[in-house]
């Protein structure tokens, strides 16, 4: 994503949404496909059974009428979808990928890790009111749809997942184009460009960025500051609950080592995970020896090693998307724990995961003096 000269300091466009925001976004995508700006669109769609949403790569624009740009649950993290499409190269189709800000940020992180190629992808994000926990939605999908719609209209996060309730980056613009609904007048929304690619797309669609978006900025700032306060408190409470080895062992004692949290995480970037490799398979004598020295060992073994290993890998890039927590069959608050650790690690490097594709990963841009800062932080 090449940055435009005036980046987000620029104005936006106000788009009429008399038929509803969802329909207007669909019309925008249709128009862009009609004009050949995009060859395909990657966007969430409800599955025929109605109880889940998946990303679909749409070539036939007549199918756009069935998409859900802002679904009530995050069954698949969008960055994983972009990575599947471009992991082996940019391909020859110009694709619009429509997703939430945390999905866009994860895509940006994967780009830095060489696992997506954004040359032919235009990332389109939108203000996100959060998502419902998947387990709640599955209890009654139709009721879930209604609850989500009502809550999203009022920007009420009480029913959303715990990590969404404390997300202070729910309108962060990290992609090429952003759709802002906060602070917009009735039956309208803002379109904001965040890159030269975004500018080019909007120019081809004859959308000029001349409207003032201060109303959107002010609303986003208010919500973000409010959420930051809630986030700090939630992390403080969580730390007192799970801090220290004994508490951490208790927290992960229910872990069944299914690795769901790893499989759904967009940021888990190793091509072969150590914990899925033969390296963690030991001869029975090793287990007997360990049982002898400790009196007993649990099976499956090494659950805490798996979690701490993942934390070390992930804490620089975790975007607090909550996908891991949704996928945990035993309701361990994995995303809340990971986002707490991520805030601390990223804070040490003044890094915000996925904020900017040009911002190098902390471990790549490591400076010697940072080690001392970390020592101080650990004192
Ligand atoms: S660790 Fe969990 S919250 Fe963080 S990016 Fe991965 S799935 Fe999302
Ligand atoms: S999803 Fe839950 S049970 Fe499965 S490995 Fe992760 S923390 Fe453990």
In this prediction, residue 251 has a pLDDT band, given cuts at 50, 70 and 90, of very high
Higher pLDDT: 311 or 9? It is 311
DSSP 65-133: GGB-SS-SS-SS-HHHHHHHHHTT---S--EEEEE-HHHHHHHHHHHHTTS---TTEEEEEE-------
- Look at ligand 1, atom 4, and give the residue with the nearest C-alpha: 318
- Interior/surface letters 299-317, b for 16+ CB within 10 angstroms, e for the rest: eeebbeebbeebbebbbbb
Using a 6 Å cutoff on CB, does residue 338 contact ligand 1? yes
pLDDT tens digits, 39-51: 999 999 999 999 9
pLDDT number for residue 245: 84
Mean pLDDT of 243-252: 88
| Cis peptide upstream of residue 360 (ω within 30 degrees of 0) | no
Distance in angstroms between the alpha carbons of the first and the last residue of the chain: 40
Residue 138's nearest CA partner among 264, 49, 19, 45 is: 49
**Listing from the earlier edge strand, what are the strands of the sheet with 53-58?**
13-16, 188-193, 177-180, 121-126, 95-99, 40-46, 53-58
Q: Best of 135, 242, 261 to mutate for ligand 2, by most ligand atoms within 8 A of CB? A: 261
Mean pLDDT of 251-268: 93
Using a 6 Å cutoff on CB, does residue 309 contact ligand 2? no
Q: Best of 134, 255, 300 to mutate for ligand 2, by most ligand atoms within 8 A of CB? A: 255
Q: Which of 232-241, 242-251, 353-362 has the lowest mean pLDDT?
A: 242-251
Instruction: Report whether pLDDT(10) > 70.
Output: no
Instruction: Report whether pLDDT(374) > 70.
Output: no
Please, are residues 182 and 216 in contact by the beta-carbon 8 Å criterion?
yes
Nearest ligand to the CA of 333 is 2
Task: Determine the distance separating the centroid of ligand 2 and the alpha carbon of 324, expressed in angstroms.
Answer: 8
| Cis peptide upstream of residue 216 (ω within 30 degrees of 0) | no
Instruction: Please identify, by atom number, the ligand 1 atom nearest to the C-alpha of residue 334.
Output: 2
In this prediction, residue 363 has a pLDDT band, given cuts at 50, 70 and 90, of confident
Burial of 228 (0-12, 13-18, 19+ CB in 10 A): middle
Count CB atoms within 10 A of the CB of residue 258: 13
Query: What is the distance of C-alpha 311 from the center of its chain?
Result: 17
- Look at ligand 2, atom 3, and give the residue with the nearest C-alpha: 255
pLDDT tens digits, 123-172: 999 999 999 999 999 999 999 999 999 999 999 999 999 999 999 999 99
- 73: tokens are 């649950």
SS3 245: helix
Q: Tokens 């945990």, residue?
A: 328
Mean pLDDT of 32-38: 97
Mean pLDDT of 301-325: 91
Task: Determine the distance separating the centroid of ligand 1 and the alpha carbon of 121, expressed in angstroms.
Answer: 23
Nearest ligand to the CA of 269 is 1
Task: Determine the distance separating the centroid of ligand 1 and the alpha carbon of 239, expressed in angstroms.
Answer: 18
In this prediction, residue 259 has a pLDDT band, given cuts at 50, 70 and 90, of very high
- 333: tokens are 């608050």
pLDDT number for residue 375: 62
Nearest ligand to the CA of 327 is 2
Q: Please provide the average confidence, as pLDDT, over all residues in the chain.
A: 91
- Look at ligand 1, atom 6, and give the residue with the nearest C-alpha: 265
pLDDT tens digits, 65-123: 999 999 999 999 999 999 999 988 888 899 999 999 999 999 999 999 999 999 999 99
pLDDT number for residue 281: 85
Nearest ligand to the CA of 267 is 1
Q: Best of 74, 312, 314 to mutate for ligand 1, by most ligand atoms within 8 A of CB? A: 314
Residue 37's nearest CA partner among 207, 210, 171, 190 is: 207
Task: Determine the distance separating the centroid of ligand 2 and the alpha carbon of 99, expressed in angstroms.
Answer: 26
């Amino acid at each position: 994503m090449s940055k435009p000269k005036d980046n987000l300091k620029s104005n936006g466009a106000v788009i009429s949404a008399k038929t509803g925001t969802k329909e207007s976004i669909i019309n925008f995508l249709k128009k862009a496909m009609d004009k050949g700006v995009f060859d395909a669109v990657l966007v969430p769609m409800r599955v025929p059974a109605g109880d889940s949403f998946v990303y679909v790569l749409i070539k036939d624009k007549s199918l756009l009428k069935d998409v859900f740009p802002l679904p009530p649950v995050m069954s698949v993290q969008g960055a994983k979808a972009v990575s599947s499409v471009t992991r082996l190269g940019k391909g020859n189709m110009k694709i619009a990928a429509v997703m939430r800000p945390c999905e866009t940020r994860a895509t940006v992180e994967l780009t830095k890790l060489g696992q997506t190629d954004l040359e032919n992808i235009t990332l389109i994000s939108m203000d996100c009111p959060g998502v419902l926990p998947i387990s709640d939605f599955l209890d009654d999908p139709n009721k879930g749809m209604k609850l989500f719609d009502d809550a999203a209209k009022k920007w009420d996060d009480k029913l959303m997942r715990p990590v969404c309730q404390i997300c202070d980056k729910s309108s962060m613009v990290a992609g090429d184009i952003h759709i802002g609904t906060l602070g917009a007048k009735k039956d309208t929304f803002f379109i904001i460009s965040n890159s030269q690619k975004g500018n080019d797309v909007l120019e081809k669609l004859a959308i000029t960025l001349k409207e003032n978006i201060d109303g959107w900025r002010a609303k986003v700032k208010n919500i973000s500051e409010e959420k930051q306060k809630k986030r700090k408190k939630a992390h403080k409470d969580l730390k007192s609950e799970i801090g220290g080895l004994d508490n951490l062992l208790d927290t992960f004692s229910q872990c069944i080592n299914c690795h769901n949290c790893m499989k759904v995480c967009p940021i888990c970037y190793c091509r072969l995970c150590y914990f899925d490799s033969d390296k963690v398979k030991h001869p029975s004598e090793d287990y007997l020896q360990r049982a002898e020295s400790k009196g007993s060992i649990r099976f499956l073994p090494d659950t805490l090693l798996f979690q701490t290993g993942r934390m070390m890998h992930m804490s620089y890039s975790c975007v607090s998307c909550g996908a891991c927590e949704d996928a945990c069959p035993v309701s361990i608050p994995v995303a809340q724990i990971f986002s707490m650790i991520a805030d601390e690690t990223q804070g040490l490097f003044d890094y915000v995961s996925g904020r900017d594709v040009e911002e190098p990963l902390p471990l790549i841009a490591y400076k010697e003096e940072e080690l001392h800062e970390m020592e101080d932080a650990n004192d």
